[in-house]
């Protein structure tokens, strides 16, 4: 038969229109990684052309979880859109909450009481720790270590229990409101947070012992997926992906919002831009989040947790606004256009994983398949955020 | 030799890792064995909403059928059917007062006296299949008639199992002793 | 022939041994699967199987029943003969590997003077089984998995052999019973103290031969595929699974016989000590699996060709030199 089963693509549009590398010799294999992925990135599909174990070309295919979040922004009222933000990136839901609520507050000129700002900082940083913990566990699961994800989840359970006390939810929080937060922190929350931070400080050394120094892990992460700074800039990468390549760009410092200017914390930065650097940056960020939460708990003032003057059927004046916060994956941006009505005219969500994923096609060229998986894990992608 | 030192350091890291898992082997389990045990932090958990009874009458909800919750809900979960209880005038008769430049042709009548329209809930339907537990309805209610229940261990075999009629649930709760269903 | 002659005939001994070995393999398969899941559960601070039977001891039995009850699917375009040859070829020779293993001086099914060679030869048939499974599946992922498995197995045969040869040189025989005999004068007579490097090389090669983590690329390459057994359902997969655990017992038994003094130990009768030592080594294998991430394929082969084989050769030469000087 003249039909070469191994390298003729059959299948859907993307498979049939995949352009193989023209100058490659030898037997080439065209495979799909996903969209049903064993690892927890989400529904990502990558069409890969391989020569033996080496990847010649990788093409991500998106859209498997497009949920029309931006369209929903146009048909729901300003307040009704709040639960959507928790679902865009469910791992760092509070950061997306903050981006939207901050944008509307900026547009409508709503003041946020200081206590509410500190509450937002504390809860968002707790959520950042839990997001990074899940990334850590899932990354190691990709690399074949089955235990660290359960240790990470044990700590995540504690964070989820703490956040449940005040938000009522464990994952998709809808906690921030225009002009503050929906419920005040009680004494039990503060107590539980302090206990958790004390406990978590003993866990981070254990994570380092088990994994970070491990010879096998270093072999899988060092010198893998080296991202030069100019390439990161070209693709608009943000977050630990950019900081791993040496640039200390953190939205909390570069475009300060809320009470972050008054809080002391360092921005961890890598040197080489390989997967190990991104790993180290994220683990260091967890420690910095602990420091931020402790400071915020100390200096949080008393007062109202919600601005009572916000109208129920909010109608911000016509105009455009862009508001950015630092999420676990990078810079989260919300661009709102209002026409003065009860519903937004346009909601544009800038998701950090979208730009970080673009890097993958270029980074994965010429690497081994196992290395490509390691690179994908180190980029910390959440596909629902990419597809929105 | 740096290569040898690295190898030794690498092998030592493997042994340290084994030590960590070895110690964790003997630590107590973190799993809560449901249904023998249950988790103990459900006091703040958001289950589906339930009606809150009046202080003086456990069979009647506080709801005044303003339908603010219906408007606030992003998913359209709530549907209320109401019954008119009474209409009473709540003020004196009003006079017709037009702007000075208008010419009265004689067909305008004075507005009716202000009325207080009281409605009560005939049925309060929640379609829990669509609810996202955002809490906007609970916060919007001007009379605090809605609150989250603690219904964590729900299960059903069809969508109809998750369409609740909250007035009936309130009545059943009141009959069972007035405690909030756990 | 009289009754006593029949009972003492080596053929009777062989047949009886095979039957007992089959029982041993079956029971051990059940126990090991349960033990693995319990060990991983406790390491991960959770109970593991708990509901089926007290503390889940009936779980593996019920899983076996489930696997038998599943439909046996042959993929379209698969080579039927090779596809079903794979699992059968995987599990059958492993049983034969148990024959020369000295559970105790009396409990050796076949006391043959080339016992080690027999075991090494028959355990290599596993490679053929993987090949047949990967090729016969008509699946790109299975093919890649099988190719990796084959090159991994073939590469790690060599350090395995080198470490075994050191012991053979020392004892002067390839018979496992003789090697076990030589270690039966207390703990200090175990070969572990004389040949620690050979033990380490043997154990690492054994981990790689049985496709256990951190070398489990052929089977648990969760990034890409499920490896060579992607297309198998029901008992086809069950047989591969059983073969893997049985093969684990074989290599640990060989390690015990060669290095840890086989049936030597106080108070308890020999066979119990043998089984205890084997289970201790298996526990160590499980411990490795749930602690370490996977190595990359080229790092795996690097380890073999650049570290284990040179070390094994050096060890062999040193052993030969010392033996010649002592003589």
Domain with A35 in it: 13-61
Helix (H, G, I), strand (E, B) or coil at A302: coil
Pick from A168, A182, A209: CB nearest B17: A209
Q: Count of CB contacts below 8 A, B vs C?
A: 32
Confidence of residue A10 (pLDDT cuts 50, 70, 90): low
pLDDT surpasses 90 at B100: no
Burial A152-180 (b: 16+ CB within 10 A, else e): bbbbbebbbbbbbbbbbbbebbbbbbbbb
Mean per-residue pLDDT, B147-171? 90
The nearest CA of chain B is from the CA of A67 a distance in Å of 15
CA C38 – CA C53 distance, rounded (Å): 14
In CATH terms, the fold of domain B33-89+112-182 is Alpha-Beta Plaits (3.30.70)
Q: Is the dihedral of CA C238, C240, C241, C245 positive or negative?
A: positive
* B31·C46 Cβ contact <8 A: yes
pLDDT grade for A17, boundaries at 50, 70 and 90: confident
Residues A181 and A302 in one domain: yes
Q: Which residues contact A91 (CB under 8 A, 6 or more apart)?
A: A130, A131, A134, A135, A328, A382
CB contact under 8 A, C293 and A217: yes
Alpha-carbon distances, residue A87 vs A171, B78, C14, C226, C295 (angstroms): 9, 21, 66, 31, 35
- B96 vs C326, which has greater pLDDT? C326
The partner residues of B78 in beta bridges, in order of sequence, read B126
Query: Per-residue pLDDT averaged across B122-143, rounded?
Result: 92
What is the mean pLDDT of the segment spanning A290-304? 93
| Stretch 96-155 of chain C: residues touching chain A, C-beta under 8 Å | 140-141
Separation in Å, CA C271 to CA A93, A311, C103, C267, C282? 59, 82, 5, 12, 16
Instruction: Classify residue A251 as exposed, middle or buried by CB count within 10 Å of its CB (0-12, 13-18, 19+).
Output: buried
What is the interface pTM, i.e. ipTM, of the complex? 0.85
CB contact under 8 A, C45 and B28: yes
- Domain extents in chain B: 33-89+112-182
Instruction: Using CB atoms, pick whichever of B14, B30, B74 lies closest to residue A154.
Output: B30
Asked whether the beta carbons of residue A373 and residue C43 sit closer than 8 angstroms, the reply is no
Question: Phi and psi at residue B14, in whole multiples of 5°?
Answer: -65, -40
Q: How confident is the model at residue A40 (pLDDT cuts 50, 70, 90)?
A: low
Nearest residue of A to residue B40 by CA position?
A161
**Distance spanning both ends of chain A, measured CA to CA:** 44
Q: Which residue of A has its CA nearest to B14?
A: A214
Residues 75-114 of B with CB under 8 A from C: none
Q: CB under 8 Å to A302, separation ≥6 — which residues?
A: A115
Judge whether residue B179 has pLDDT over 70. Answer: no
Q: Is A273 exposed, middle or buried (0-12, 13-18, 19+ CB in 10 A)?
A: buried
Whether C291 sits inside 8 A of A33 (CB atoms) is: no
Task: Flag if B74 and A76 touch (Cβ within 8 Å).
Answer: yes
Q: If we measure between CA atoms, which residue out of C122, C268, C147, C258 comes closest to residue C203?
A: C258
Pair (A38, A130) in one structural domain: no
Contacting subunits of B (3+ beta carbon pairs below 8 A): A, C
> Using an 8 Å Cβ cutoff, are A214 and B17 in contact?
yes
Q: Give exposure, B97-133, as e/b (b: 16+ Cβ within 10 Å).
A: eeeeeeeeeeeeeeeeeeeeeebebeebebbbeebbb
Q: How far apart are CA B148 and CA A174, in angstroms?
A: 14
Residue A217 belongs to a domain = yes
Q: Count of CB atoms within 10 A of residue C27's CB?
A: 10
Identify the three-state secondary structure at position A168. Answer: coil
C44–A151 CB contact, under 8 Å: yes
* Among candidates B14, B20, B25 on the partner chain, residue whose Cβ is nearest the Cβ of C42: B25
Q: What are phi and psi of A177, to 5 degrees?
A: -125, 170
What are the chain C neighbours of A142 within 8 Å (beta carbons)?
Answer: 222-223
Contacts of C302 (CB under 8 A, 6+ apart): none
C43 and B28 within 8 Å at the Cβ level: the answer is no
The answer to whether the CB atoms of C223 and A53 lie below 8 A apart is no
Pick the more confident residue, A15 or A128.
A128
Q: Residue C146: in which H helix or E strand, if any? A: helix C140-171
Res. A168: pLDDT tops 50: yes
Please judge whether B135 and A168 are an interchain contact, meaning their C-beta atoms are less than 8 angstroms apart: yes
A128 plus A48 within the same structural domain: no
Predicted local confidence at residue A9, as pLDDT: 55
Residue A165 and residue B44: Cβ atoms within 8 Å? yes
Selecting from B9, B41, B74 the residue whose C-beta is nearest the C-beta of A83 gives: B74
Q: Is A49 helix (H, G, I), strand (E, B) or coil?
A: strand
Residues A49 and A191 in one domain: no
Q: If contacts are CB pairs under 8 Å, which of residues 180-219 in chain A contact chain B?
A: 182, 206, 209-211, 213-216, 218
In degrees and rounded to multiples of 5, residue A243 shows phi and psi of: -70, -30
Name, in order, each residue with C-beta under 8 angstroms of C45's C-beta and a sequence gap of 6 or more. Answer: A150, A151, A154, B24, B27, B28, B29, B30, B31
The distance of B162 to chain C (nearest Cα, Å) reads: 29
* Alpha-carbon gap, residue A181 to A193, rounded angstroms: 18
- pTM confidence score: 0.89
Instruction: Read off the tokens for A118.
Output: 């500190």
The answer to whether residues C153 and C298 touch, using CB atoms and an 8 Å cutoff, is no
Partner residue opposite C291 with nearest CB, options B17, B27, B33: B17
Low-confidence ranges of chain C (pLDDT < 50): none
Inter-chain residue contact B136 with A79, CB threshold 8 Å: yes
CB contact under 8 A, A79 and B13: no
How many structural domains does chain A have? 2
List the subunits that have 3+ CB pairs under 8 angstroms with C: A, B
Question: Model confidence over A139-161: pLDDT tens digits?
Answer: 998 888 889 999 999 999 999 99
Q: How far is CA C311 from CA B2, B8, C202, C302, in A?
A: 19, 15, 11, 13
- pLDDT tops 50 at residue B181: no
Quick check: B179 contacting C, CB < 8 Å? no
Residue A2 falls inside a structural domain: no
Residue A27 exposed, middle or buried by CB count within 10 Å (0-12, 13-18, 19+): exposed
A6, part of any domain? no
What value, to the nearest 5°, has the Cα angle with vertex A23 and ends A17 and A26?
95
Instruction: Decide if A169 and B133 are in contact by the 8 Å CB cutoff.
Output: yes
Q: How far apart are CA C247 and CA C93, in angstroms?
A: 10
Confidence of residue A2 (pLDDT cuts 50, 70, 90): low
Whether A45 shows a pLDDT value over 60: the answer reads yes
Q: Which residue of B has its CA nearest to A343?
A: B74
Same domain, A367 and A257: yes
B29 in reach of chain C (CB within 8 A):
yes
Question: Does one domain contain both A106 and A20?
Answer: no
Q: Chains with 3 or more CB pairs closer than 8 angstroms to A?
A: B, C
In angstroms, the separation between the Cα of residue B42 and the nearest Cα of chain A is 9
Neighbours of B69 (CB within 10 A): 23
Question: In the A/C pair of chains, how many CB contacts fall below 8 A?
Answer: 75
Question: Across all residues in chain B, what is the average pLDDT?
Answer: 86
A41 and A158 part of one domain: no
**How far is it, in rounded angstroms, from Cα A195 to Cα A159?**
11
**Interface probe with C: pick from B12, B19, B21, B32, most Cβ of C within 10 Å:** B21
Higher pLDDT, A323 or C182: A323
In the numeric block, the tokens 């699996």 are attached to C289
State residue A122's pLDDT score: 94
What CATH number corresponds to the domain at position A165? 1.10.645.10
Cα A138 from Cα A150, distance rounded (Å): 10
Q: For B14-25, what is each residue's pLDDT tens digit? A: 899 889 888 988
Give pLDDT tens digits for A362-381.
998 888 888 888 898 899 89
Question: Cβ B18–C291 below 8 Å, yes or no?
Answer: yes
Please tell me chain B's helix, strand, coil percentages from 3-state DSSP, rounded to the nearest 5: 30, 20, 50
User: CB–CB of A38 and C223 under 8 A?
Assistant: yes
pLDDT over 70, % of chain A? 95
CB contact under 8 A, B132 and A213: no
In C, minimum Cα distance to B19 occurs at: C291
B171 to chain A, any CB pair closer than 8 A? The answer is no
**Predicted local distance difference test score (pLDDT) of residue B182:** 41
Q: What is the pLDDT of residue C139?
A: 78
C60 by DSSP, 3-state: which? Answer: helix
Interface test with B, best of C38, C42, C50 (most B CBs within 10 A): C42
Query: Are A286 and A359 within one domain?
Result: yes
Name chain A contacts of B9, Cβ cutoff 8 Å. 215
List, as ranges, residues 40-99 from B with C-beta within 8 Å of A.
41, 44-46, 68, 72-74
Q: For residue A26, with 0-12 CB atoms within 10 Å meaning exposed, 13-18 middle and 19 or more buried, which class applies?
A: exposed
CB contact under 8 A, C47 and B25: no
Q: Do A129 and A33 have their domain in common?
A: no
The highest-confidence range among A210-224, A285-299, C144-158, by mean pLDDT, is A285-299
**Nearest by CB to A219, which of C220, C224, C295?**
C295
């Amino acid at each position: 038969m003249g039909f070469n089963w191994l390298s003729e693509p059959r299948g859907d549009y993307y498979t049939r229109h995949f352009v193989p590398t023209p100058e490659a010799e030898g037997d080439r294999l065209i495979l799909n990684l996903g969209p049903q992925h064993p690892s927890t990135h989400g529904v990502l599909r990558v069409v890969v052309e391989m020569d033996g174990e080496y990847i010649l070309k990788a093409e991500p295919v998106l859209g498997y979880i497009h949920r029309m979040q931006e369209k929903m922004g146009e048909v729901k009222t300003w307040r009704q859109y709040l639960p959507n933000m928790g679902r865009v990136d469910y791992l760092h839901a509070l950061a997306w909450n903050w981006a939207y609520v901050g944008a509307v507050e900026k547009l409508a000129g709503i003041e946020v009481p200081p206590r509410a700002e500190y509450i937002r900082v504390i809860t968002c940083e707790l959520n950042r720790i839990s997001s990074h913990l899940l990334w850590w566990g899932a990354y190691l699961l990709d690399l074949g270590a089955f235990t660290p994800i359960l240790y990470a989840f044990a700590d995540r359970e504690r964070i989820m229990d703490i956040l449940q006390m005040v938000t009522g939810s464990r994952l998709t929080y809808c906690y921030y409101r225009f002009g503050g937060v929906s419920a005040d922190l009680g004494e039990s929350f503060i107590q539980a947070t302090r206990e958790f931070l004390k406990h978590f400080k003993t866990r981070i050394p254990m994570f380092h012992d088990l994994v970070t120094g491990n010879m096998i892990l270093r072999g899988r992460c060092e010198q893998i997926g080296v991202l030069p700074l100019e390439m990161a800039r070209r693709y608009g990468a943000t977050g630990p992906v950019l900081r791993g390549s040496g640039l200390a760009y953190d939205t909390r410092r570069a475009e300060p919002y809320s009470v972050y200017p008054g809080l002391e914390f360092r921005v961890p930065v890598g040197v080489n831009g390989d997967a190990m650097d991104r790993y180290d940056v994220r683990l260091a960020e967890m420690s910095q989040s602990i420091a931020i939460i402790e400071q915020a708990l100390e200096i949080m003032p008393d007062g109202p947790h919600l601005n009572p003057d916000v109208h129920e059927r909010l109608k911000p004046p016509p105009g455009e606004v862009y508001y950015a916060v630092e999420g676990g994956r990078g810079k989260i941006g919300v661009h709102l256009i209002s026409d003065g009505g009860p519903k937004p005219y346009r909601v544009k969500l800038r998701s950090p994983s979208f730009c970080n994923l673009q890097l993958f096609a270029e980074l994965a060229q010429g690497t081994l398949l196992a290395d490509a998986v390691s690179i994908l894990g180190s980029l910390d992608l959440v596909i629902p955020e990419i597809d929105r | 030799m740096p290569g040898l030192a690295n190898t030794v350091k690498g092998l030592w890291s493997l042994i340290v890792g084994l030590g960590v898992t070895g110690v964790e082997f003997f630590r107590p389990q973190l799993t809560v064995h449901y249904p023998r045990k249950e988790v103990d932090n459900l006091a703040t958990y958001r289950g589906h909403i339930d009606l809150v009874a009046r202080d003086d009458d456990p069979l009647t909800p506080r709801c005044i059928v303003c339908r603010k919750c219906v408007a606030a809900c992003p998913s359209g979960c709530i549907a209320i059917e109401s019954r008119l209880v009474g209409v009473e005038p709540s003020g004196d008769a009003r006079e017709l007062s037009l702007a000075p430049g208008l010419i009265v042709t004689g067909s305008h009548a004075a507005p009716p006296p202000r009325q207080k329209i009281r409605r009560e809930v005939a049925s309060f339907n929640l379609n829990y299949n669509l609810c996202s537990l955002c809490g906007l309805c609970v916060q919007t209610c001007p009379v605090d008639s809605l609150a989250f229940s603690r219904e964590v261990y729900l299960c059903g075999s069809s969508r109809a199992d998750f369409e609740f009629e909250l007035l009936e649930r309130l009545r059943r709760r009141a009959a069972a002793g007035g405690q909030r269903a756990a | 022939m009289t009754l006593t002659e029949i009972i003492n005939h080596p053929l009777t001994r062989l047949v009886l041994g095979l039957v007992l070995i089959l029982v041993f393999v079956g029971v051990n398969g059940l126990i090991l699967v349960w033990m693995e899941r319990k060990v991983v559960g406790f390491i991960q601070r959770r109970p593991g199987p708990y509901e089926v039977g007290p503390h889940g001891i009936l779980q593996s039995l019920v899983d076996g029943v489930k696997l038998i009850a599943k439909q046996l699917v042959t993929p379209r375009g698969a080579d039927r003969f090779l596809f079903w040859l794979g699992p059968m070829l995987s599990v059958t020779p492993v049983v034969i590997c148990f024959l020369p293993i000295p559970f105790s001086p009396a409990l050796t099914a076949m006391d043959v003077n080339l016992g080690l060679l027999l075991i090494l030869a028959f355990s290599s048939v596993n490679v053929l089984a993987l090949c047949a499974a990967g090729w016969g599946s008509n699946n790109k992922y299975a093919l890649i998995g099988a190719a990796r498995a084959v090159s991994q197995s073939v590469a790690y045969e060599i350090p395995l052999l080198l470490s075994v040869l050191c012991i053979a040189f020392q004892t002067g025989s390839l018979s496992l019973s003789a090697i076990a005999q030589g270690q039966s004068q207390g703990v200090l007579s175990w070969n572990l103290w004389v040949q620690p490097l050979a033990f380490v090389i043997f154990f690492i090669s054994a981990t790689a031969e049985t496709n256990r983590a951190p070398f489990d690329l052929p089977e648990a390459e969760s990034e890409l595929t499920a490896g060579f057994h992607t297309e198998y359902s029901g008992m086809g997969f069950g047989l591969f699974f059983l073969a893997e655990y049985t093969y684990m017992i074989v290599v640990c038994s060989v390690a015990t016989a060669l290095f840890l003094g086989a049936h030597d130990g106080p108070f308890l009768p020999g066979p119990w000590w043998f089984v205890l030592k084997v289970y201790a080594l298996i526990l160590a294998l499980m411990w490795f699996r749930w602690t370490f991430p996977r190595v990359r394929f080229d790092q795996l082969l690097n380890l073999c060709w650049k570290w284990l084989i040179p070390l094994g050769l050096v060890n062999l030469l040193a052993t030969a030199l010392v033996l010649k000087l002592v003589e």
